[in-house]
Structure 1
Amino acid sequence: MRYFETRKARIEIIPMIDIMFFLLVFFIMVTLHMIPDAGIASRLPGSSTAQAMPKPQMTLAVDRAGMIHFQQRELSPAQLTTLLRSKPDASDLQVTLAGDKDVSLQSLMRVMDACRNAGVTHIGLAARAEGADPAQAR
């Protein structure tokens, strides 16, 4: 007669937890691919002593004409200095300059001076390793 006894209903939460973790991982992966990696196409100069650097907090691109590009905006050196000064701790900010292969040294120095005027001391130059595929450096 146990067949007709009423059973207490149970909600199994283990499968629900598995589904929730799966959805969490799925949305994290989708979100990471939605973040645009935008910039301008440039031909980085080659260097036989190029080294891997930690990921910079800010990457500035300098084109042949000497224009500074940051997050799809063109900046003058004065605007760059103002932007860098508005950052919370400019002295610990890591800036990488990605100058075009044909950019003049004077243009790079102008950008470096604007960074130094804002208090930035960690400035790196982007380069591709000699013999590396130029298409990967874009």
Structure 2
Amino acid sequence: MPKKRARIEIIPLIDIMFFLLASFMMVSLSQVHMKGIRVNLPAIVPPTAQPTATPDPRDHLSLFIDADGVVHFDKEVVTDGDVMPRLLALYKGNAKVKVFLSADREALHGEVMKLLDRVRSAGIEKVAYEIKIKHGAPGAPGTPNAAGAPGGAPPPPPPPAPTP
């Protein structure tokens, strides 16, 4: 009577190898630390009460923050306490209102983020940032760009070859 040879089962071996691979991946990913600059991010406080406001039917609004943190609604200075009621009135008058947000170069980032948070908490979803294009900067419209760089004008075509 021939003796049965022992055979190695490969399927359980593959299962164990995948389990070990997944375990090592999880352990190695948990030990990776994000390296970057530590920053103190601005804190925002969500509004607790929604004041009542009369509807404002405009379809867009320009918001501006000057260097001192003063908010301007279409060139009109607004106190800090009047910002939220005015935004709610704007949203109540037109739910699809667009807000164009701009800030002075010297305005604090935290003040801009606080105003953006107020705009969002009023229910306004369409927000655009107004910027000033610095002509001559790489990528600015009308500026020759580096090979293949996005933005700017395409490089001029080469001059035609002289004919003999």
Q: TM-score scaled by structure 1?
A: 0.49
Question: Counting helix residues as a fraction of each chain, which structure ranks higher?
Answer: 1
Question: Counting strand residues as a fraction of each chain, which structure ranks higher?
Answer: 1
Q: TM-score scaled by structure 2?
A: 0.42
Asked which structure has the greater CA Rg, the reply is: 2
